[in-house]
Amino acid sequence: MQKTDKESKAYSIVERRGLYYPAFDIYSGVGGFYDYGPIGLRIKRNVENVWRETFIDWLGALEIDTTTIVPEKVLIASGHVATFTDPISKCKKCGTSYRVDKLLEEFYESKKDTNSLIELKKLDKKGMEKKLLEHGITCEKCKGELSQIEDFHLMFKLQIGQEKENIGYLRPETAQGIFVDFKNLYKIYSLKLPTAIAQVGKAYRNEISPRQQLVRVREFTQMETEIFFDPEDAQDAFNSLETEQFLDAKVNFAPHDEKESVFSIRELLLKKYIPNKLFAMCIYAELKMLERLGLSNKEIYVFRQLQKEELPHYSNGNVDLEIKTSYGNLEVSGIAYRTNYDLSQHSKLSGKEITVLNNGKKVTPHVVEASIGLDRLLFSIIDNSVEEGKERGWEWLKLSNDIVPYKYAVFPLQNDEDLEKKANEVLSMLKKNKISAYMAKSGSIGKRYARADEIGVPFAITCDYETLKDNSVTIRNRDNTEQIRKKISELI
């Protein structure tokens, strides 16, 4: 079976430094909910900022913020009310619930049975029941027999206001708010196709059996970008990106009918593994993100083309970004060609026409979507950033400089009033220049180095007695532990 939370190689640092932890812990916790501590939150926000600088600034998307409670009619239109389910089976003896596709997936991964993993995507409920019996899979807790598989609805249902029939849900994705707002935004901001609208925010799914830290949770953060376009002009890129140099970028890609290999984005288009240049731009944007997040090694990630049997009801083509972790390949992003399904459905159920004029004709825009799970991405980064540190005696995080919680840690060498005063002066100077830093003075200097390394701080500044004489400090490099002397004025 797959690794437990405590076997994840990043778990010890996460737990010891409180990057994130189970919510409501004093009440024995509730599965699938996590709170972020101060360090984890800083890293999370920095990852979000890298996304924002890529998809909002570079791609030129409009960013909005829509409500997390959604009226039922909206989610009837999107198809979520009818189709947003997972296969569930319960232990007949102890009542433990299992998501059956994940139970089988973990079994095949433990056997390294790649062919069965591929076939699993095509199985219906009866097919999965047959496999459970064939492999003798029982309850993980008590070995009891599993029940017949049923569909379990994943949305959190609630009542809006006083009327019981006024039903709503916590949103299962952030995309629908963008689709519902599209026509107004298009008019107010005088947009032209293609155009991109994005948002980052909370989404909710009532997972059957949440597990593996941030991998399967019930409340999470999504970063979603919707690119609206006329399908007759689908090969056109945005004006600021017309050079097409991005098409030569190399990606690790797994076509559904071929082995995983390295392709240029241009090849993906020529082989029709992806539908158009806008889809290609989303892949390139995620490549840019991976590089800044420290995950650009092609052995760490793969863009996997989904089989027809795996596609969501709205999709005419999907590519998932999977990152290799201690829990196996983890899906952190989905790029989807949603056609005009969403806008057409909302137009039909609302009775409001959702079309725009493009090149003199009415168009219901098609959509390419890039949807990224921030929490899963964060876990993947941390999991791939752990260094053993045998020589220094502790594990540490080799985080990208773009997402480190602090650039500097500032230490007075000893518990000395003059050294502490000087260290505070250095800290104030850094903060005034908008350089992230913190000061620590408890514990030996070695222990303070270890704590800084564990949370990924790239540089530690030590104020010693030499500092009081010439205003120079020792700067220690996290990656190689080398130390140099620098004047305080040279730090900025």
Interaxial angle between packed helices 100-111 and 125-135, expressed in degrees from 0 to 180 and rounded to the nearest 10: 40
pLDDT tens for each residue of 296-315: 899 999 999 998 878 877 78
Q: Are 28 and 22 in contact (CB under 8 A)?
A: no
Write the DSSP assignment of 269-292 as a string of letters.
Answer: HHTTSS-SHHHHHHHHHHHHHHHH
Mean pLDDT, rounded, for 226-231: 94
What pLDDT does residue 239 have? 52
The CA distances from residue 34 to 128, 306, 330, 378, 385, in Å, are 31, 30, 18, 13, 21
pLDDT score of 2 more than 50: no
Enter the DSSP assignment of 57: I
At residue 285, what is the residue type? A
Q: Are 414 and 463 in contact (CB under 8 A)?
A: no
At residue 198, what is the residue type? A
Separation CA 421–CA 253 (nearest Å): 54
The CA distances from residue 414 to 77, 445, 448, 456, 491, in Å, are 65, 8, 11, 23, 21
Separation CA 376–CA 222 (nearest Å): 10
Average pLDDT, the chain: 93
Mean pLDDT, rounded, for 431-438: 97
Mean pLDDT, rounded, for 286-292: 96
Mean pLDDT, rounded, for 54-77: 96
Structural domains of the chain, with CATH: 19-83+155-385 (3.30.930.10), 85-153 (3.30.40.230), 406-491 (3.40.50.800)
pLDDT class of 1 with cuts at 50, 70, 90: very low
* Sequence-distant (≥ 6) Cβ neighbours of residue 449 within 8 angstroms: 460, 476
The CA distances from residue 476 to 111, 413, 415, 442, in Å, are 45, 13, 20, 18
Q: What angle do CA 84, 87, 90 make, to 5 degrees?
A: 130
Phi, psi of 31 (to 5 degrees): -55, 140
pLDDT score of 318 more than 80: yes
The CA distances from residue 474 to 356, 399, 420, 477, 483, in Å, are 61, 22, 15, 10, 6
Q: What angle do CA 430, 48, 331 make, to 5 degrees?
A: 140
Separation CA 483–CA 445 (nearest Å): 13
Taking Cα atoms as reference points, which of 371, 317, 369 lies closest to residue 342?
A: 369
Mean pLDDT, rounded, for 66-79: 96
* Sequence-distant (≥ 6) Cβ neighbours of residue 92 within 8 angstroms: 144, 145, 146, 147
